[in-house]
Chains A and B, each alone.
Chain A
């Protein structure tokens, strides 16, 4: 009975964690469908974004840019500015990595690309450790009280509401971009058939740049939101979430960004709710088991294509 009483609260944690996993998963899914490989550096793009935000925030605080918290939130103008700039800078950094590395290997096939992404993952993590050490860094040391919603039997912090709202807004923006803009349609076209896209005259190199920019921008957002939720960040932050992210992507149907959103949410919720029944230490195993079951039962995922 006490276990079941916890479930509404665990659902809240699951939605928060699922929001972050989903934002990470969209990028993995886009890279897979448009560039044709599993990007193991995606988690480290998240960490990169989180540290760029930290660096900028520290800089802004030093420059005297106001950082008094907005209302009940734990952060203010300076942090939001750092947040937004970090999204852009992470996208830029990832585009540069593509120009220097992935573009040169584009013709070498998915295995080479995947392996080089593991190299990028390790390289980025080492750079972050070099500049910031492997120790945790804090976005905020303040303790934020949670608000009780008695009717639902849950407690939630204003920062957590912020995380969920940011995820919803970004998912809607990504949807609108993919659905209604010329570049979004070209991304879907290239995911369908890259050769035909080239034959049609679509500027496939520009599509690739946009794919990285969107994936990396969402990764940075996910990394920063994870930092807000946990209060601290470490260079391992993204790498540790990568299994959950991949599980979400596979569950939803690899190559389908909507599947990544749905799958990420299911993984986040399953991991949190599982702690009512089994030890917290098994969270990663929950994601792994769900992924394996999906691969055995329906490899194309919940929303995957038939072909």
Chain B
């Protein structure tokens, strides 16, 4: 049983193909990491899965739905959420308003869910009325993740959650990612420098030049010398 299946997807921007024949899979409640150098097409893959780019070839299935050409607002309703690499918060809104926007499609009372997010990210709970644009990079990343979790997704896509963060902050973020995963949410992460991410992943893929290179357990990828030299900085 698989939650997300990306099958031989070719995708890109206009006429420019960035991804060629990429296939990946995420099972329920797994953490899967895709690593690859800058420009490999990791963000392009995320955007294609989430409907911001239409694949030229190939298929994408999610939770028994064909989502290959669905728009992002349809995909979000099926239980997938996405945290983009950059500009992933609403800076002029407060922390609480960002979370409210995450629950925009809910018409019932979601204050319980906000409280749960504040428990998961205590830093945010203390600063609910703060404008997000004035917060630090690590705090913004938490706002972005909490916003994406508001609809209780089955799968969340995280595009370089630790990029541009100091190592100790990155550690906090990964620790929170593990906590999110323990609540039953499957997680697909893409990372450039991915030792930390791979070590907590069930499985990993290597993406380079827009193609799948390796697919392995996280441990095996970490142990693989060639990958270590090529993609993990030795």
Measuring CB to CB, which residues of chain A are less than 8 angstroms from any residue of chain B? 182, 185-186, 188-189, 191-193, 195-204, 305, 307
CB of B72 closer than 8 Å to a CB of A? yes
Do A189 and B52 touch across chains, with their CB atoms under 8 A apart?
A: no
CA distance in complex: A199, B147 (Å): 11
> Which residues 140-192 of B have a CB within 8 angstroms of A?
147-148, 151
CA distance in complex: A94, B54 (Å): 32
CB of B202 closer than 8 Å to a CB of A? no
Do A193 and B90 touch across chains, with their CB atoms under 8 A apart?
A: yes
CA distance in complex: A45, B97 (Å): 32
Do A200 and B104 touch across chains, with their CB atoms under 8 A apart?
A: yes
Do A201 and B73 touch across chains, with their CB atoms under 8 A apart?
A: yes
Identify 20 new A-B residue pairs, CB closer than 8 A, beyond the known A198-B73, A204-B73.
Answer: A185-B97, A185-B100, A185-B101, A188-B97, A189-B93, A192-B93, A196-B88, A197-B101, A198-B72, A199-B50, A200-B102, A200-B104, A200-B147, A201-B73, A201-B76, A201-B104, A201-B151, A203-B73, A305-B92, A307-B91
On chain B, the residues within 8 Å of A186 by CB distance are 101, 104
* Most chain B CB within a 10 A radius of its CB, from A188, A192, A195, A197: A192
Task: Give the interface residue-count category, chain B.
Answer: 20 to 34
CB of B205 closer than 8 Å to a CB of A? no
On chain A, the residues within 8 Å of B91 by CB distance are 192, 307
Do A193 and B87 touch across chains, with their CB atoms under 8 A apart?
A: yes
Query: Which 4 pairs across A and B sit closest by C-beta, in order of nearness?
Result: A201-B76, A192-B90, A189-B90, A202-B104
Chief secondary structure at chain B's binding surface: loop
Task: Write the nearest CB–CB distance from A80 to chain B, whole angstroms.
Answer: 35
User: A196's contact among B71, B77, B90, B92, by CB below 8 Å, is which?
Assistant: B90
Do B52 and A195 touch across chains, with their CB atoms under 8 A apart?
A: yes
On chain B, the residues within 8 Å of A188 by CB distance are 90, 92-93, 97
Residue of B nearest to A199 (CB): B72
CB of B82 closer than 8 Å to a CB of A? yes
Residue of B nearest to A201 (CB): B76
User: A199's contact among B76, B77, B97, B105, by CB below 8 Å, is which?
Assistant: B76
On chain B, the residues within 8 Å of A198 by CB distance are 71-73
CA distance in complex: A201, B84 (Å): 14
List 16 A-B residue pairs with CB atoms under 8 Å apart, sorted by A's residue number.
A182-B104, A188-B92, A189-B90, A192-B93, A195-B52, A196-B90, A197-B101, A199-B50, A199-B76, A200-B76, A200-B101, A201-B76, A201-B77, A201-B104, A202-B104, A203-B73
On chain A, the residues within 8 Å of B90 by CB distance are 188-189, 192-193, 196-197
Do A202 and B101 touch across chains, with their CB atoms under 8 A apart?
A: yes
On chain A, the residues within 8 Å of B72 by CB distance are 198-199, 201
CA distance in complex: A196, B93 (Å): 13
On chain B, the residues within 8 Å of A182 by CB distance are 100, 104
* Most chain A CB within a 10 A radius of its CB, from B87, B92, B100, B104: B104
On chain A, the residues within 8 Å of B89 by CB distance are 196
* Most chain B CB within a 10 A radius of its CB, from A188, A198, A199: A199
Do A201 and B52 touch across chains, with their CB atoms under 8 A apart?
A: no
> Which residues 66-121 of B have a CB within 8 angstroms of A?
71-73, 76-77, 82, 84, 87-93, 97, 100-102, 104-105
Do B87 and A196 touch across chains, with their CB atoms under 8 A apart?
A: yes
Task: Write the nearest CB–CB distance from B135 to chain A, whole angstroms.
Answer: 14
CA distance in complex: A188, B100 (Å): 12
On chain B, the residues within 8 Å of A200 by CB distance are 76, 101-102, 104, 147-148
